[in-house]
């Protein structure tokens, strides 16, 4: 606002100077030419004025530092300012498209895409960059970023679960789940576990469901909690629970692994920095294959990327386009991989030696070939709770699987109906 005020003052000053000069000369033509020249100069100055793009985020400092460095290359025409925002979902619902308080873009996971697209506050990224420019992105990342046929997120990096093991305790990671179960039975004793995982958290249990052909929702976002495949997966997975910590909570299982009291853990790249700090000599292995189905545990993929607020799209289109194009460059993905061990969404990054030599990133890329994009529809707000209630009843309270699956399905349908 202050910049616009200064420009307007400059225009007025030039106009006044032109009028004064005309009074000393004869003829109105000179006055018009001077005014036009002043106007052109002011317009040129306004066109060259830098544009500031504000991006909300809740990412780690190392990731933002890396992105800031890359986006600073757009200066002086575009200045990018990252602002940390806690409770991103609530904040976005509150501000909507209010230009006085909304950011221009935000960096976040893809799973709430449907919620904000339904609110009408997002612009598709294909309004700024062509589909050809997105061709190098891994398919699972573009699937995750798309809601009802529109791609609302520019994928930057993604996360999947991994099988991590303590090299001092586990010499050879099991290749099948039957082998893993046998290992857990033989090595769970005296406060030490063969395997730990968040067995009753829907996000983690989904890997087992997918390996049996089950899903929390189908492609129409309809609940699928009482299918035979779902009951089969829950029954098989339940065999592992007696050999794991009963609560299956994040803090419990990660602490056990970091303290060398668990031989293996199913977790994600977010745990790796803590493991390095703890001094754990860990390895990364492919997810085991379910012996009875022949399919590997197939986790969800979560994608982090940029969303564009519709209000910004209307007023800062050129600057927004520059930001998106800059982040599509291979250099950005490679930098993130080096600085923060992020798995790049851009497939070309994996040709760089710094990425291709990283065991964890290459394992994640392999997993991403079959991983399921975490659903991004509003109905999932109901499904997470319904699924976890069922899992807790079965795994922690030893309730009947069929009864709990049927009950969860009924509650999910009622919950979704109440959203309409």
CA–CA dist 81, 52 (Å, integer): 7
CA–CA dist 399, 393 (Å, integer): 5
pLDDT recorded at residue 167: 97
pLDDT recorded at residue 84: 96
With a cut of 70, list the residues of the chain below it in pLDDT. 1-48, 97
Spatial CB neighbours of 357, under 8 Å, sequence gap ≥ 6: none
- Residue spans per domain, the chain: 51-159+301-373, 160-300+376-419
Residue 224: both structure tokens together: 């699928």
Please give the model's pTM, rounded to 2 decimal places. Answer: 0.84
CATH number of the domain located at residue range(s) 51-159+301-373 in this protein: 3.40.190.10
Q: Does domain 160-300+376-419 have CATH number 3.40.190.10?
A: yes
Cα dihedral across residues 200, 153, 212, 365: positive or negative:
negative
pLDDT recorded at residue 6: 39
pLDDT recorded at residue 321: 97
Termini Cα distance of the chain: 41
- Which residues does residue 372 pair with via DSSP β-bridges, in sequence order? 300
319: three-class secondary structure by DSSP: helix
CA–CA dist 261, 164 (Å, integer): 13
CB of 376 closer than 8 Å to CB of 144: yes
Residue 54 backbone phi and psi in degrees, to 5: -100, 130
Beta strands 162-166 and 282-285, pairing class:
antiparallel
Can you spell out the DSSP letters for 331-364?
A: HHHHHHHHHH--EESBGGGGGSHHHHT-HHHHHH
pLDDT recorded at residue 48: 55
Tell me if the bond preceding 20 is cis, omega within 30° of 0: no
pLDDT recorded at residue 133: 98
């Amino acid at each position: 606002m202050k910049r616009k005020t200064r420009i307007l003052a400059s225009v007025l000053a030039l106009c006044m100077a032109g009028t004064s000069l005309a009074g000393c000369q004869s003829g109105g033509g000179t006055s018009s030419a001077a005014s036009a020249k002043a106007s052109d100069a002011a317009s040129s100055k306004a066109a060259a004025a830098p544009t500031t793009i504000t991006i909300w985020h809740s990412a780690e400092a190392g990731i933002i530092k890396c992105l800031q460095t890359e986006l600073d290359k757009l200066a002086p025409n575009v200045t990018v300012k990252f602002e940390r925002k806690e409770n991103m979902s609530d904040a976005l619902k509150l501000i909507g498209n209010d230009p006085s308080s909304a950011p221009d873009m935000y960096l976040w996971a893809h799973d709430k895409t449907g919620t904000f697209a339904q609110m009408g506050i997002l612009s598709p990224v294909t309004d700024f960059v062509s589909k050809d420019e997105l061709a190098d992105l891994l398919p699972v990342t573009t699937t995750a970023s798309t809601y009802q046929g529109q791609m609302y997120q520019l994928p930057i990096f993604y996360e999947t679960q991994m099988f991590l093991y303590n090299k001092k305790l586990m010499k050879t990671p099991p290749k099948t789940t039957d082998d893993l179960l046998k290992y857990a039975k033989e090595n769970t004793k005296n406060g030490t576990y063969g395997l730990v995982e968040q067995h009753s958290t829907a996000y983690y249990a989904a890997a087992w469901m997918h390996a049996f052909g089950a899903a929390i929702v189908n492609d129409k976002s309809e609940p699928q909690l009482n299918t035979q495949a779902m009951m089969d997966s829950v029954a098989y997975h339940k065999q592992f629970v007696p050999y794991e910590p009963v609560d299956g909570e994040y803090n419990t299982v990660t602490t056990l692994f970091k303290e060398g009291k668990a031989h293996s853990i199913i977790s994600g790249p977010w745990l790796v920095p803590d493991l390095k700090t703890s001094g754990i000599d860990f390895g990364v292995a492919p997810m085991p294959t379910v012996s009875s189905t022949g399919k590997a545990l197939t986790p969800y993929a979560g994608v982090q990327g940029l969303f564009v607020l519709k209000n910004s799209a209307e007023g800062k289109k050129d600057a927004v386009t520059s930001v998106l194009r800059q982040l599509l460059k291979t250099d950005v993905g490679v930098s993130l991989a080096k600085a923060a061990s992020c798995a790049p969404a851009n497939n070309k990054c994996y040709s760089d030696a710094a990425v291709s030599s990283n065991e964890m990133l290459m394992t994640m890329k392999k997993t991403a070939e079959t991983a399921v994009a975490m659903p991004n529809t509003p109905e999932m707000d109901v499904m997470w709770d319904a699924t976890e209630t069922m899992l807790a009843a079965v795994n922690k309270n030893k309730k009947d699987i069929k009864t709990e699956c049927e009950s969860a399905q009924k509650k999910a349908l009622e919950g979704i109906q109440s959203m309409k």
